[in-house]
Amino acid sequence: MSRPKISLIGGGQIGGNLALLAAQKELGDIVIFDIPKVEGMVKGKALDLMQLRPHDGYDANITGTSDWNDVKDSDVFIITAGIPRKPGMDREDLLEINLGIMKDVAANIKKQAPQSFVIVISNPLDAMVYAFYKVSGFPKNQVVGMAGALDSARFRTFIAMETGLSVQDVTCMVLGGHGDTMVPITRLATVGGVPVTDLISAERLAEIEHRTRFAGGEIVKLFGNGSAFYAPAQSAIEMAESYLRDKKRVIPCASLCTGEFGIDGYFIGVPTVIGTGGVEKILEFQLTDDEQVELNNTLEVVKKTVKETGL
């Protein structure tokens, strides 16, 4: 039986880490794709990764290319293509440049691998995943955005740092758009099943929520140039693994809502079941009035960005 084929569109910092993590988990053979101008760089990364394999013994073939024919019949695509955020830029500033790139990527993926499962990471995320969906014409179960997985990981991290307890035992979720209006659902957060509201003061929790919302910007500022790459890569790999291994993980992802949580026709962060059928189900639950107001606020921001795509 041949190994699954995973194509990474964009060979920058996230792309390189995606390739490393996918190889370490032996999820399949990996193609790192980028534009002809940087073909040497992705070929170099692929070769470097190939030479890392003997140390841990993973069997995965890793190649770099700028030829769309090399991604033919891929099982999974993870798209990071686009320019990263610079200090002072918000995700919407990226829209115009990255939209042009996404349209081209969508058309090529449709041609080369119409049955594939596609995970979009490019920012502004909610608009980019929508653009891919519209241009490709793919069914909604084949397209998803990586947002909530990362936002929730950041929320989990900050709760673990605050309590000094294992991050493995922290469970929480963040809904909504991938931006400053995201909605951490703090009342459902637990550490080992114990409500986080019993462990951390309301005032401190509000500060942690705020830090979660602006966590991406915090890293952009510290770097001075570029944006996060380790955690976003792992978040997307978790999603790809759930698809390839039919794990049925429940991961907050930007999925196309068709009535769930009162949202229709937009990709937004919701608890999503990912299995061999792609996006198999969105898990709905009762929001409080305040949470619903916050979700409606974040939806308005998503609508505005999506409208700017003109699709």
| Cβ atoms 200, 186 nearer than 8 A | no
Q: Of 62, 82, 79, which Cα lies nearest the Cα of 8?
A: 79
Cα–Cα distance, 111 to 179 (Å, whole number): 31
């993973």: which residue's tokens?
A: 58
Quick one: 240 exposed, middle or buried, by C-beta within 10 A (0-12, 13-18, 19+)? buried
Structure tokens at 293: 């107001």
Structure tokens at 122: 């490019």
User: Which residues on neighbouring strands pair with residue 78, listed in sequence order?
Assistant: 8, 119
> Which one is catalytic: 119, 178, 179, 185?
178
Quick one: 226 exposed, middle or buried, by C-beta within 10 A (0-12, 13-18, 19+)? middle
- Is 210 catalytic? The answer is no
Q: Of 68, 10, 67, which Cα lies nearest the Cα of 41?
A: 10
Three-state DSSP state, 227:
coil
What is the phi/psi pair of residue 194, to 5°?
A: -90, 125
DSSP state at residue 176: B
DSSP state at residue 18: H
DSSP state at residue 212: H
Q: How many CA atoms lie within 13 A of 196 on its CB side?
A: 32
The residues carrying an active-site annotation are 178
